[in-house]
Structure formats: structure tokens, C-alpha cells
């Protein structure tokens, strides 16, 4: 999903299943978001909450927590 592109350094995407909801699953298996594929704003909000700011929102475009 294009809405998740700015978190590509922190998440993996799997194939879509017809009729299924988009799921955001943490590494421990907890589903932290389930929603429609067309809800890009909701997905971005969940990604920011669970995985930090998007790459495009960081001052230098780098990854959060990385030492410079």
C-alpha cells in the first residue's frame, strides 16, 4: 500500500487477500490496526503511533533512533 511507503524501513508488507481488511501486525503478533485498504489516513496515523514518524517527517529524512 502506497500510504505505508514512508515506513518501508520498519515494516514488511504482504500480499492482499480479496475481501480482507488491511492488518497492521506488530512483531509480537498483536494486531494493532484493522481497516479498509482505502483508509490511507487511518493507516498513516497507526503507523506513526506504533512505528514512529514517517521518514518524510524526520528532519534529515533518516530513520528514527539512528545515531548520526
**Predicted TM-score (pTM) of this structure:** 0.69
Cα–Cα distance between 59 and 67 in angstroms, integer?
A: 13
3-state secondary structure of 61: coil
Instruction: Give the pLDDT score at 65.
Output: 53
Strands (E), 8-61: 22-25, 31-35
Strand pairing partners for 22?
Answer: 35
Strands (E), the chain: 22-25, 31-35
CATH class in words for 2-10+22-53: alpha beta
Q: Which of 11-15, 35-39, 49-53 has the lowest mean pLDDT?
A: 35-39
Q: CB–CB of 49/5 below 8 Å?
A: no
Segments making up each domain of the chain, as ranges: 2-10+22-53
Amino acid at each position: 500500500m502506497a500510504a505505508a511507503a514512508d515506513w518501508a524501513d520498519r515494516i514488511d508488507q504482504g500480499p492482499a487477500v480479496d475481501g480482507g481488511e488491511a492488518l497492521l501486525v506488530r512483531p509480537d503478533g498483536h494486531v494493532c490496526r484493522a481497516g479498509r485498504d482505502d483508509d490511507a489516513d487511518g493507516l498513516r496515523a497507526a503507523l506513526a503511533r506504533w512505528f514512529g514518524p514517517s521518514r518524510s517527517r524526520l528532519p534529515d529524512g533518516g530513520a528514527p533512533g539512528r545515531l548520526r
